[in-house]
Amino acid sequence: MSMEITFLGTGSAYPSPTRGASAVAFRYEGECWLFDCGEGTQTQFMKSHLKAGRVSKIFVTHLHGDHVFGLPGLLCTISLQSSPTVSRQPVEIYGPEGLRDFVWRALALSRSELVFPYVVHELVPTADQCPEGELKEPSYLNPSNDNPSKEAQGRTIRLDPEEGSYLLVENEHFVVKAFRLFHRIPSFGFSLEEKERPGRLNAQKLKDLGVQPGPAYGKLKNGTAIVLENGLTVSPRDVMEEPVPGRKICILGDCSGPVGDGGVKLCREADLLVHEATLDDSQMAKAREHGHSTPLVAAEFAKLCGAKKLVLTHFSQRYKPTALAGEGETDDVQELKRQAESVLDFQEVTLAEDFMVIDIPVKKTKPGLPERTVTCGCVTEPALGDF
């Protein structure tokens, strides 16, 4: 159950030889999801250990070019490298309202026909996610209702006002939600929460109870109690090890801060929090004016959420990666690390660099639950409150 993220682009505004434009790949059990797709993301893929053709979902934080200009090109290249005869599931794309039109228009005007289907699910932002007048009406953004053959009908996803979030994906392994951020145009953050996994069957306990390998094992694994020939009922919890807690990764788009409390709720105790820090703290006013964060803003958010690891990214191109910085350069990216760490009581903060891979290890199982009493024909439940 390995889980890792790879930074394919860590610079703001435009791609440079030292920092590509925004893109983060998430890999889990053969799945590859992409978060943002700045210009040049496809060449970053080629330089990395990842295969762009594996991407099945793409999440776009906001519609600024340094996060989305690479998307039509990436889709076209994946298409060129795909066999037209092999049917595949649609590539699912999630992002703010207007993204569907952007993708469709770029593909239609360039006469690009993909050999695989795609679908764009749009998130409806709220007016308080950007300065007044910056939120465009969908009718302005979507003047065309034409539907090219390979585009499937996507969903329009609205804010759940109770939760302060948008539910994007729920499958066997994950729940992916989005939350609102404040930026020059509406921006979003994404939380990926792995579901708790059931513990393994304890072979010794099964043997001690006299459960024979076979269908009984399968039933117990699927959560069904069994009754043995001697009348003994064995419940899954009697013979299974403790569940394995899920991991949580949160990736934020450009922002000067969250909107509402959805972000703090969803990022609570994140194992990994990826936050932008475009400029250092001495340029706070400029950062704020452009809807961006400094290390102080990022670290305070991480602290508020109790995040276990903070990674800073989306640096102004003036901050070269440490190993590539020239003699006498005054803009030292290490200063951003120091600024963030001073807020987090010197807990280590990571500075993202292109092609950096971060592994998120499997968590240890939860502390043991109280022993349960196995009796003839029934299971005695511990009194409520024991857990």
Which span (25-33, 45-53, 63-71, 114-122) binds Zn ion, by CB under 5 A?
63-71
Cβ of residue 181: shortest distance to Zn ion, in angstroms?
A: 10
The residue range among 58-66, 151-159, 298-306, 330-338 that interacts with Zn ion, by the rule CB under 5 A, is 58-66
CB closer to Zn ion out of 66 and 238: 66
Residue 262 · residue 164 · CB < 8 Å = yes
Q: What distance in Å separates the CA atoms of residue 295 and residue 60, rounded to the nearest whole number?
A: 23
The interaxial angle of helices 71-80 and 99-109, nearest 10 deg, is 50
What is the closest distance, in whole angstroms, from the C-beta atom of residue 100 to Zn ion in the complex? 19
Q: How far is the CB of 11 from Zn ion (least distance, A)?
A: 9
Q: What's the min distance (Å) between Cβ of 292 and Zn ion?
A: 8
Q: Is 292 in the site for Zn ion (CB under 5 A)?
A: no
From residue 134, give the alpha-carbon distance in Å to each of 62, 105, 131, 160, 342: 13, 21, 6, 22, 35
Angle between helices 295-305 and 334-343 (to 10 degrees): 40
Stretch that binds Zn ion, among 62-70, 82-90, 317-325, 359-367 (CB under 5 A): 62-70
- Report the residue number, 178 or 240, with the smaller CB distance to Zn ion: 178
Is 66 a catalytic site residue?
yes
Nearest CB to Zn ion, comparing residues 262 and 291:
291
CA distance 123 to 120: 10
User: Coil, strand or helix: which one is 204?
Assistant: helix
CB closer to Zn ion, 20 vs 118: 20
Bridge partners of 379?
374
Minimum CB distance to Zn ion, residue 21 (Å): 8
36 binds Zn ion (CB under 5 A): no
Query: CB under 8 Å to 214, separation ≥6 — which residues?
Result: none
Minimum separation from the CB atom of position 193 to Zn ion (A): 25
Catalytic-labelled residue, pool 66, 238, 254, 280: 66
Provide, rounded to whole angstroms, the least separation between the CB of residue 38 and Zn ion. 8
**β-bridge pairing 23-28 and 31-35:** antiparallel
Q: Side chain identity at 130, as an amino acid letter? A: C
Tell which residue, 206, 203, 235, has the closest CA to residue 222: 235
Residue 353 is classified by DSSP as -
- 64 sits near Zn ion (criterion: CB under 5 A): yes
Contact region with Zn ion (CB under 5 A), list: 59-67, 85-93, 204-212, 379-387 = 59-67
| Shortest separation between residue 275's beta carbon and Zn ion, angstroms | 13
Residue 79 vs 278, nearer CB to Zn ion = 278
Check residue 150 for interaction with Zn ion (CB under 5 A): no
Which residues, numbered 320-349, are part of the site for Zn ion (CB under 5 A)? none
**Which tokens sit at 271?**
């194992």
Output Rg (C-alpha) for the chain, integer angstroms: 24
Considering only CA atoms, which of 359, 358, 312 is closest in space to residue 335?
312
**Alpha carbon of 210 to those of 47, 220, 231, 232, 376: distances in Å?**
55, 14, 12, 10, 13
DSSP H helix total and E strand total for the chain: 12, 21
- Residue labelled with tokens 């409520």: 384
d(CA 200, CA 188): 37
Q: Which is nearer to Zn ion, 28 or 94 (CB)?
A: 94
Burial of 149 (0-12, 13-18, 19+ CB in 10 A): exposed
**The only residue of 193, 194, 254, 281 in contact with Zn ion, by rule CB under 5 A:** 254
Listed ranges 57-65, 239-247, 301-309, 322-330: which one lies at the site for Zn ion (CB under 5 A): 57-65
C-beta closer to Zn ion: residue 58 or 201:
58
Binding mask 3-32 for Zn ion (x = CB under 5 A): ---------x--------------------
Cβ closest to Zn ion, residue 12 vs residue 316: 12
Examine residue 66 and tell whether it contacts Zn ion (CB under 5 A). Answer: yes
Applying CB under 5 A, which residues contact Zn ion?
12, 64, 66, 254
Catalytic residues: 66
